[in-house]
Every structure is written in structure tokens, then in C-alpha cells.
Amino acid sequence: MQELDIKEIWQTQRLSTPELKEGELEAMLRKRSQSIVEKLKTFTRVEHIANIVVSILMIGYFLYKGDYAFSGVLILFMTIIVLYYKRLYNKLHAIQPTSDVREYLIEVHKELRDFVRKYQISLSLLFTIAFGLGLYLGLKDKPIRDKLDDPLFYARIGGVYLASLAACFLIVHLVYSSKLKKIKGMLDEMNSRD
Amino acid sequence: MSSKEFFNTFVRDQKAIITKICRSYSDNEEDFQDLFQEVALQLWRGYESFRSESKVSTWVYRVALNVCLTHFKRRKRKPQTSSIDNMLKEPAQEGIDPVHEQVALLYDAIKQLKDIERAIILLYLEDKQYNEIADILGMTRTNVGVRINRIKSQLKKYIDARVGHQGDMADSKAVNA
């Protein structure tokens, strides 16, 4: 097959495809986007709303309890998180598939990588806080206090902590690593000059 | 004419481009349907903000390629039949027609390429100039030129091997008969 032939075959291919049925395009436009950016936006939106709801409930609870100092710290902490999510959402919203392919891939890769990092950091923090709090509250119980001299007790706690954290990291890795790898592979392919 | 009606006409005009790109990046009807829908959706979302800073075709190619390259296949689900399915089926079903056989073989060859190589050769086959290909992909013109030559020889090798294999099969059938 000669060079010209490839183009000729391509351009003579008959795309006498059937017309879209009445209302079919409208139905397509009503469907939810399956793009990775759209999914990240949805997760961010859900987490953002959850953060706001939890913040209001927690702050309300501590104000009701009269713990104003803790409420103040909580308001500051939650404001930072809410602003961070707002910024994250705006950044995702700015990614449009109308930019050139390289630019789009770079943006999607960067946001996806940041998203994974955000999960890893927040999971580590949440697990540490949850385990610390669990241990602190558990120590009030005599049966647990009695185990403090047993080195196996610490090994078990450490084991459960690490295993739970590793399981969550693994889930994040399974969901996102292949996507990150695929996009990185395409960018490397574009950058290679062989 | 409402903006949706105008868009309908626009998609019908661009259907050939969208179909060829989606077909090159899909392994089955489901993938094709998903890709076609996603491209149409993204075009619609960007339609009103399109400022004619680039050519319409450049814009359509960018959106279609960006969607196809970052599409992550979903798990199998029950296929739905629609006219979009037929867009994919039609050329393959007419396999007896030598032109369609060649087209199907060309698609097979394109699908053996890496993702970015596919994008480059698709634009080349669509008769785009090196400058425009570079502009759509965000690569240098020189890089595009070098790659096109390499990809063409890869395609040729694949097609020659397939045609040779088919010839051998036909010969052995004839001998057995």
C-alpha cells in the first residue's frame, strides 16, 4: 500500500452513517459526563458540601456547649478547608478539553495527581487522629489500661493502624494509578524526540 | 433557530470527524457510544463559549481527541441499540466490498499504534497540514513531521503483513479445495 493510498482509502471511506434519530442528540446532552475531570468535580462538590454541613453541625454543637475557644479554632480550621475546596473546584472547572492535547493532558495529570495526594494526606491525618482519639478514650477503660504493659498490645494497635491505612491507600491507588500512568505515558510519548 | 437546533445541525456537519476519531479509539460498540456521547456533550458545553479563535475543525479535533485520550473504559454493561451503534457497524458489515475491507484493515492498523501516534496519523489522514497538526496536539512541526514518517512505515508494515497472511490463507484454502 503506497503512501497516497492510505490517505485515499481513509478519505474515500463511506460514512453514509444513519442520521441521529429524532431527540437522540438531546438525550445525549442530558446525560451525565463520564470524563475524569467531571468525576473529580463531582467528588470535590460532594466533599465540599459534606465539609460545610459537618462544620456547621460541629461549630453549632460546641457553641451550644459554651466552648467558645474551641469553636473559634474550629471556625478558623473549617474556613481554611472550605476555601481550599472552593479553590480546588474552580481549578477543575477551568480545565476545558478545548485546549491543545498536550496542555489538556498536563492539566488533567496535575489535577489527578494532586487529588491522589490530597487523599493520601487527609487519610493519614484522619487515621492518626481517629486512632489517637480511640486510644485516648480507650485508656479511660480499666481493661485497656491494664494492657499498657504488654508490648504485644502496641504491636497489635500499630498493625491495625498500618493495615487500615494501607488498605485505604491501596483503594486510592487501584482507582487512580492506572489513569495517572496512562496520561503520564502519553505525555512521555509526546515529549520523546526519537 | 434555537441554539440547540443550531447545535444539532453543527453536530450533523461534524459527525464524520467525530465518528472517525471515536472509532479509532474504541474497541467495541459500547466504547464507541460512550465516546460519541461524551464528545457531543463536551462540544455542546464549549459551543457557546467558542470564540472562533481557531478554526471550527481545529476546535472539534481538539475536543474529540482530548475526550478520547482521557476516556477510561467503564465496566461492561448491557448494550443499548441506537443509530450511533450503526455508525460503527456499517463499514465492518460491508466487508465484501474491497474498499470497506481496506478501510477496516486501516482501522486495525491504526489501533495497533500508541494513543498519541493514533492522534497524529488521524490528523494526517484527514489531510491536515503539519502546522495544524502541531497546533491541535501542542507539538512542534518538526516533531510531527518525523513521527508521521515513522508511523506511516509502521502502518505499512502491519498492513503488508496482514495482506500477506490473508493471501497465504486464501492459497491454502484453494489447495485444500
With contacts defined as CB-CB under 8 Å, which chain B residues touch A37?
70
Express as a percent the part of chain B with pLDDT over 90. 42
- pLDDT above 90 (res B2): no
Select from B3, B24, B14 the least CA-distant residue to B115: B24
Please give the Cα distance from B144 to B120 (Å, whole number). Answer: 7
Tell me the three-class secondary structure of B35-97, residue by residue. Answer: HHHHHHHHHHHHHCCCCCCCCHHHHHHHHHHHHHHCCCCCCCCCCCCCHHHHHHHHHHHCCCC
- What's the pLDDT score for residue B167? 61
Cβ-nearest to B70 among A14, A36, A189: A36
With contacts defined as CB-CB under 8 Å, which chain A residues touch B20?
13, 15
- Low pLDDT (below 50) residues in chain A: 1-2, 4, 194
- Top pLDDT among B170 and A130 is at A130
**A110 touching chain B per CB within 8 A:** no
Q: How many other C-beta atoms can be found within 10 angstroms of the C-beta atom of residue B55? A: 12
**Closest chain B CA to residue A28:** B37
A150 touching B (Cβ < 8 Å): no
A150: exposed, middle or buried (C-beta count within 10 Å: 0-12, 13-18, 19+)?
exposed
> Given this model, what pLDDT does residue A146 score?
75
Dihedral angle sign, alpha carbons of residues A139, A140, A145, A147: negative
Nearest residue of A to residue B55, measured between CA atoms: A98
Mean of the per-residue pLDDT values of chain B: 81
CA pair distance B89, B29, nearest whole angstrom: 8
Q: CB–CB of A15 and B19 under 8 A?
A: yes
Task: State the complex-level ipTM.
Answer: 0.81
Cell of A52: 460545610
CA B88, B93, B95, B99 torsion: positive or negative? Answer: negative
Using CB atoms, pick whichever of A13, A35, A103 lies closest to residue B38: A35
Q: By the 8 A CB rule, do B106 and B162 touch?
A: no
The model's pLDDT over B43-67, given as tens digits with 9 standing for 90+, comes to: 988 887 776 667 888 899 999 999 9
Q: Is it the case that residue B26 has pLDDT exceeding 70? A: yes
Which positions in chain A touch B10 (Cβ < 8 Å)? Answer: none
Q: What is the pLDDT of residue B126?
A: 92
Please judge whether A98 and B4 are an interchain contact, meaning their C-beta atoms are less than 8 angstroms apart.
no
**pLDDT (tens digit per residue) in B84-143:** 445 555 444 444 677 778 888 899 999 999 999 999 999 999 999 999 999 999 999 999
Give yes or no for residue B176 having a pLDDT over 80: no
- Give the count of alpha carbons within 13 A of B87, CB side only: 28
What pLDDT was estimated at residue B166? 65
Structural domains present in chain B = 1-93 (1.10.1740.10), 94-177 (1.10.10.10)
Among A30-39, B8-17, B117-126, B161-170, whose mean pLDDT is lowest? Answer: B161-170
Most A-contacting residue of B9, B31, B41 (CB-CB within 10 A), to test interface: B41
- Nearest residue in A to B65, CA atom: A101
